Amino acid sequence: MESSSTFSLWESTSSCRDSALSSAISLSSVAISMASAVSDISSISACCSCIFAFHSCSCSSWILCFSSSFSLALSSVRFIFSVSSFSSRSFTCARSASSSCTQAEEEEEEEEEEEEEEEEEEETERRKDAMSEKGRRTKEKEKKEEIKEEKKKEIKEKKEEKKKEIKEKKKEIKEKKKKEEKKKDEEEKEEKKKKKKEEEEDIRRRKQKKKEEKDEEKEEKKKKNKKKEEEEDIRRRKRRRRRRRRRRTSCLEDNRFFFPSDSNTNGQLCPNAWIFRGATGKQTSHRIRLLRPDGSSLL
């Protein structure tokens, strides 16, 4: 931008310089025309003398007079045009110079504004870069934090899984222990039942044994009682025999032994009387049952 403004300023200056050069050429031509006009004025003065001395002028003088007047007029017109051209060119140069200066100032202002804008943009870019750097760092930090959080989460999940596995293992161990305890309790119950059954069986056997022993004792007692009874019976028989012997002996000694007939059941009888043959006292082959007067046996 600076180079373009400088170029435009230089271009406007060169145009002003060209205009000034052309104006100087115009002025020189004006000066030349003025010089020719002065010479023409001198010629015109000669012409005027010719006019005042009309009768004494030659034709050449009149021709010179008329040509000098014409060249004077032409020089005057050229002078006027040169002056107007010079003034117009000077005005154009001044205006272009002022406009160029104004434009240059405006361009400088624009350049300054553009520079300020560029500086602001650079500052903004720097800020953006700083912000982007900060954002990048923040993003990197956030990314690191996210990675850290993910790692923490993974570690936490692993810990939770480990805890869960430990819990499940503990639960399995507990269930296993519970099953073992249950099995043990069942075994103990079975053993207790078995033991109780054995004890009951033992008690039953003991009772049976006791019963058998009691029965044996009873049988023994019975046998003893029977034996005792038998012995008692034997003793009783012996006693009876002895009594009989004594009675018989007493009956025989008292000589009161007699034979009752079937029809005669009364009378005093000698108990357990035996029939003896004659006086020898020998016992006969059969015994006669003796009855009391009421019909009951004496034996």
Residue 133 located in a structural domain = yes
pLDDT score at 27: 65
For residues 142 and 139, give the distance between their C-alpha atoms in angstroms, rounded to a whole number: 5
Select from 142, 176, 197 the last residue of a domain: 142
Within-domain flag for 52: yes
pLDDT at 188: 83
Whether the full predicted model's pTM is greater than 0.75, yes or no, is no
Structure confidence at residue 212 (pLDDT): 79
Last residue of a domain, one of 122, 142, 162: 142
| Residues whose CB is less than 8 angstroms from the CB of residue 230 and which lie 6 or more positions away in sequence, other chains included | none
Instruction: Give the pLDDT confidence score for residue 24 in this predicted structure.
Output: 67
User: For residue 24, is it within any domain?
Assistant: yes
Residue 34 lies in a domain: yes
Is 104 within the bounds of a domain?
Answer: yes
Q: How far is CA 227 from CA 112, 220, 239, 242, in A?
A: 160, 10, 17, 21
What pLDDT is attached to residue 99? Answer: 65
247 within some domain: no
Cα separation, 232 vs 299, whole angstroms:
17
- Domain assignment present for residue 163? The answer is no
pLDDT on residue 173: 86
Residue ending a domain, choose from 123, 142, 161: 142
pLDDT tens digit at each of 299 positions of the chain: 444 444 444 455 565 566 656 666 666 766 666 666 566 555 555 555 555 555 455 566 666 666 666 766 776 777 777 677 767 766 676 666 666 666 667 777 777 777 777 777 777 777 777 667 766 777 778 888 888 888 888 888 888 888 888 888 888 888 888 888 888 888 888 888 888 888 888 888 887 877 777 777 778 777 777 777 777 777 777 777 776 665 554 444 444 444 444 334 344 444 444 443 333 344 444 444 444 556 555 55
Number of domains in the chain: 2
According to the model, what pLDDT value does residue 251 have? 43
pLDDT of residue 94: 66
Residue 20 domain boundaries: 2-142
Give the pLDDT confidence score for residue 147 in this predicted structure.
86
The verdict on residue 289 lying in a domain is yes
Residue type, 32: I
